């Protein structure tokens, strides 16, 4: 049985990069092929053994709550009409009774602030944080890989991937002391360094396993990059007492918080589907061939 039972899903951000769609639809409800982003994150958490799901939400995110509720009328209609495959598609939206909690973030003061609001529901145990914007495609869920590694490497653990040096200013970057296989012991964490100042190209992406001491740190940090309470600043403050390990997960990460990343993920996940692959790849081939020159 896993020692990580609870996961926090910060979903209170405004999603301005997807306006106007996100004017009325939460970003996490945008569908990647036919499943909303949040479903990918919840499925990954379930596969890692998570039993309690804590959403940090905000005004306008009601569709997320309804999505994980039962839809009695719809289900009755599908049952009566013998639509078994449509009913089966709803399977992943069902949550065990009492497994889901919602905490409201009244002000979008940053990711660190959002995580801090889950303190009462987490209590005194290590827990996971998943950012649904980061969708990871691979043979095994990134969180499952991290939970297994955390069993023997306690302390804070962050998912990492190698990025081009020119991109370091978009990420939290680890200052690495030692590496061992997929693990990197950090001696520092720097939020969004300029490429020339970045201590490495080992970038943090949206999966974390955090020790409960993070809540004291989150209560004591001030605004960081962008004027927001940054989760990486709190992790960094705990470095000496708790330790921070980067875990270079196996898999391909898509930044679905950006339109470019979202479109790429849509194509990649659609091509993975046997029912879509053939026609879609033909369509893409036709579109991406060099255009013939006009005579």
Binding-site ranges for ligand UTP (CB under 6 A) = 10-17, 27, 56, 105, 108-111, 113-114, 131-133, 257
Q: How far is the CB of 11 from ligand UTP (least distance, A)?
A: 5
Closest CB 143 distance from ligand UTP, rounded Å: 15
Helix (H) or strand (E) holding 285: helix 274-288
For ligand UTP, the closer CB: 37 or 78 = 37
Pick between residue 26 and residue 270 the one whose CB is nearest to ligand UTP.
26
Burial of 168 (0-12, 13-18, 19+ CB in 10 A): buried
Distance, CA of 234 to CA of 239 (rounded, Å) = 9
Instruction: Report which of 250, 249, 285 is spatially closest to residue 267, judged by C-alpha positions.
Output: 285
We find the least distance from the C-beta atom of residue 132 to ligand UTP, in angstroms, to be 6
Minimum separation from the CB atom of position 110 to ligand UTP (A): 5
- Taken as a whole, the chain contains a residue count of 295
Query: CA–CA distance from 117 to each of 23, 38, 87, 220 (Å)?
Result: 24, 19, 35, 14
Which 8-state DSSP code applies to residue 6? E
191 close to 232: Cβ distance less than 8 angstroms:
yes
Our CB check for ligand UTP shows the closer of 89 and 259 to be: 259
Would you say 75 or 228 has its CB closer to ligand UTP? 228
Least spacing, CB of residue 206 vs ligand UTP, in Å:
7
Q: How far apart are CA 253 and CA 261, in angstroms?
A: 9
Nearer to ligand UTP, 19 or 89 (CB): 19
Q: How far is the CB of 283 from ligand UTP (least distance, A)?
A: 29
In whole angstroms, what is the distance from residue 72 CA to residue 54 CA? 24
Nearest in space to 215 (alpha carbons), one of 133, 99, 147, 121? 121
Nearer to ligand UTP, 126 or 132 (CB): 132
Query: Of all residues in this chain, which one has the CB nearest to ligand UTP in the complex?
Result: 13
CB of 229 to ligand UTP, least distance (A): 8
Nearer to ligand UTP, 13 or 224 (CB): 13
Q: Which is nearer to ligand UTP, 133 or 175 (CB)?
A: 133
Number of H helices and number of E strands within the chain? 12, 13
The Cα 118–Cα 215 span in angstroms is 9
> How far apart, in Å, are the Cα atoms of 260 and each of 11, 38, 110, 170?
20, 18, 23, 15
Least CB distance from residue 27 to ligand UTP, whole Å? 6
């Amino acid at each position: 049985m896993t020692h990580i039972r609870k996961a926090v899903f910060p979903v209170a951000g405004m999603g301005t990069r997807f306006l106007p769609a996100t004017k009325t639809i939460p970003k996490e409800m945008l569908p990647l092929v036919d499943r909303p982003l949040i479903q990918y994150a919840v499925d990954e958490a379930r596969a890692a053994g998570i039993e309690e799901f804590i959403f940090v939400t905000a005004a306008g995110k009601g569709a997320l709550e309804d999505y994980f509720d039962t839809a009695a009328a719809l289900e009755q209609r599908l049952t009566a009409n013998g639509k078994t495959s449509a009913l089966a598609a709803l399977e992943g939206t069902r949550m065990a009774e009492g497994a889901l909690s919602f905490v409201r973030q009244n002000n979008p003061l940053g990711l660190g602030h959002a995580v801090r609001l889950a303190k009462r529901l987490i209590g005194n145990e290590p827990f996971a944080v998943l950012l649904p914007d980061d969708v990871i495609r691979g043979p095994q869920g990134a969180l499952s890989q991290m939970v297994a590694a955390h069993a023997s490497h306690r302390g804070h653990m962050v998912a990492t991937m190698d990025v081009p040096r020119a991109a370091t200013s978009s990420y939290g970057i680890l200052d690495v002391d030692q590496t061992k296989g997929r693990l990197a012991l950090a001696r520092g964490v720097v939020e969004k360094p300029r490429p020339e100042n970045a201590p490495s190209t080992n970038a943090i992406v949206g999966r974390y396993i955090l020790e409960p001491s993070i809540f004291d740190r989150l209560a004591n940090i001030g605004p960081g990059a962008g004027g927001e309470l940054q989760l990486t600043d709190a992790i960094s403050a705990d470095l000496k007492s708790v330790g921070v390990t980067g875990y270079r997960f196996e898999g391909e990460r898509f930044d679905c918080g950006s339109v470019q990343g979202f479109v790429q993920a849509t194509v990649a996940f659609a091509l993975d589907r046997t029912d879509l692959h053939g026609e879609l790849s033909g369509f893409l081939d036709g579109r991406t061939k060099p255009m013939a020159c006009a005579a």
